[in-house]
Structure 1
Amino acid sequence: MTSKLLWMSFVLVAITSSITFSLQPDRQKVLLVSFDGFRWDYLYRVPTPHFHYIMKYGVHVKQVNNIFITKTYPNHYTLITGLFAESHGIVANEMFDPILNKSFSLDHMNVYDSEFWDEAMPIWITNQKAGHTTGAAMWPGADVQIHKSFPSYYMPYNESISFEDRVAKIIEWFTLKEPINLGLLYWEDPDDMGHHLGPDSPLMEPVISDIDSKLGYLIDMLKKAKLWNVVNLIITSDHGMTQCSEDRIIELDLYLDKDLYTLIDQSPVAAILPREGKFEEVYEALVHAHPNLTVYKKEEIPERWHYKYNSRIQPIIAVADEGWYILRNKSDDFLLGNHGYDNAFAEMHPIFLAHGPAFRKNFTKEVMNSTDLYPLLCHLLNITAPPHNGSLRNVQDLLSSATLRAVSYTQSTTVFRDTSKSREYEQGQPYAYFLGISLGSIIVIVFFVISIKHLIRSQIPAFSDMQSEIAQPLLQA
Structure 2
Amino acid sequence: MTSKLLWVCFILTTSTFSTSFSLQPDQPKVLLVAFDGFRWDYLYKVPTPHFHYVMKYGVHVKQVTNIFITKTYPNFYTMVTGLFAESHGIVSNDMFDPILNKSFSLDHMDIYDSEFWEAATPVWITNQRAGHSSGAAMWPGTDVNIHESLPTHYMPYNESVSFEDRVAKIIEWFTAKEPINLGLLYWEDPDDMGHHLGPDSPLMGPVISDIDNKLGYLIKMLKRAKLWSTLNLIITSDHGMTQCSEERIIELDQYLNKDDYMLIDQSPVAAILPKEGKFDEIYEALVHAHPNLTVFKKEEIPERWHYRYNNRIQPIIAVADEGWYIFQNKSDNFLLGNHGYDNALPEMHPIFLARGPAFRRNFTKDSMNSTDLYSLLCHLLNITAMPHNGSFQNVQDLLNAATPYVKSTTLLHCNNKQKEYKRENSYDYFIGVSLGSIIVIVFFVIFFKHLIRSQIPDLRDMQAEIVQPLLHA
Could you state the TM-score of these two structures normalised by the residue count of structure 2?
A: 0.85
Higher Rg of the two aligned structures: 2
Cα shift at 1:322: 0.8
Match for residue 469 of structure 1?
Answer: none
Match for residue 265 of structure 2?
Answer: 265
The one-letter code of the counterpart of 2:405 is V
User: What is the SS of the residue equivalent to 1:401?
Assistant: coil
User: What is the SS of the residue equivalent to 1:44?
Assistant: helix
Deviation by residue 1:36-68 (Cα, 9 ceiling, x = unmatched): 000000000000000000001111111111111
Alpha-carbon distance between aligned partners in 2 of 1:433 and 1:167, rounded to the nearest angstrom: 33
Confirm or deny: 8 A CA contact 2:382 2:406 kept in the other structure. no
Alpha-carbon distance between aligned partners in 2 of 1:442 and 1:124, rounded to the nearest angstrom: 35
Cα shift at 1:187: 0.5
Deviation by residue 1:227-249 (Cα, 9 ceiling, x = unmatched): 11121111100000000111111
Cα shift at 1:132: 1.1
Confirm or deny: 8 A CA contact 1:36 1:189 kept in the other structure. yes
Confirm or deny: 8 A CA contact 1:136 1:142 kept in the other structure. yes
- CA distance 1:262–1:6, shift in 2 (3 Å): farther
Match for residue 156 of structure 1?
Answer: 156
Cα shift at 1:439: 6.8
The one-letter code of the counterpart of 2:304 is R
**Higher mean displacement: 442-451 or 91-100:** 442-451
The one-letter code of the counterpart of 1:315 is P
Alpha-carbon distance between aligned partners in 1 of 2:77 and 2:259, rounded to the nearest angstrom: 33
The one-letter code of the counterpart of 2:68 is F
Alpha-carbon distance between aligned partners in 2 of 1:221 and 1:452, rounded to the nearest angstrom: 48
Cα shift at 1:442: 8.7
Confirm or deny: 8 A CA contact 1:407 1:433 kept in the other structure. no
Match for residue 246 of structure 1?
Answer: 246
- CA distance 1:448–1:165, shift in 2 (3 Å): closer
Cα shift at 1:110: 2.5
Match for residue 297 of structure 2?
Answer: 297
Match for residue 468 of structure 2?
Answer: none
Quote the RMSD (CA, aligned, Å). 3.2
Confirm or deny: 8 A CA contact 1:407 1:432 kept in the other structure. no
Cα shift at 1:332: 1.2
Confirm or deny: 8 A CA contact 2:10 2:443 kept in the other structure. no
Q: How does 1:346-425 map to 2 (within 5 A)?
A: 346-403=346-403, 406-407=404-405
Match for residue 282 of structure 1?
Answer: 282
Cα shift at 1:179: 1.2
Confirm or deny: 8 A CA contact 2:47 2:209 kept in the other structure. yes
Alpha-carbon distance between aligned partners in 2 of 1:275 and 1:187, rounded to the nearest angstrom: 39
Cα shift at 1:457: 12
User: What is the SS of the residue equivalent to 2:276?
Assistant: coil
User: What is the SS of the residue equivalent to 1:195?
Assistant: helix
Alpha-carbon distance between aligned partners in 2 of 1:58 and 1:372, rounded to the nearest angstrom: 18
Gaps of 5+ in 1: 410-429, 460-477
Cα shift at 1:291: 1.1
Gaps of 5+ in 2: 408-422, 452-473
- CA distance 1:9–1:387, shift in 2 (3 Å): farther
Match for residue 64 of structure 1?
Answer: 64
The one-letter code of the counterpart of 2:115 is E
Alpha-carbon distance between aligned partners in 2 of 1:379 and 1:99, rounded to the nearest angstrom: 36
Confirm or deny: 8 A CA contact 2:133 2:152 kept in the other structure. yes
The one-letter code of the counterpart of 2:178 is E
Alpha-carbon distance between aligned partners in 2 of 1:449 and 1:227, rounded to the nearest angstrom: 39
Aligned positions, number: 442
The one-letter code of the counterpart of 2:219 is I
Alignment pair present for 1:338 and 2:300:
no
Alignment pair present for 1:165 and 2:193:
no
Alignment pair present for 1:84 and 2:84:
yes
Confirm or deny: 8 A CA contact 2:20 2:436 kept in the other structure. no
Confirm or deny: 8 A CA contact 1:25 1:407 kept in the other structure. no
The one-letter code of the counterpart of 2:225 is A
Deviation by residue 1:346-404 (Cα, 9 ceiling, x = unmatched): 0000001111111111111111111111111111111111111111111111112221x
Q: How does 1:454-469 map to 2 (within 5 A)?
A: none
User: What is the SS of the residue equivalent to 1:110?
Assistant: coil
User: What is the SS of the residue equivalent to 1:118?
Assistant: coil
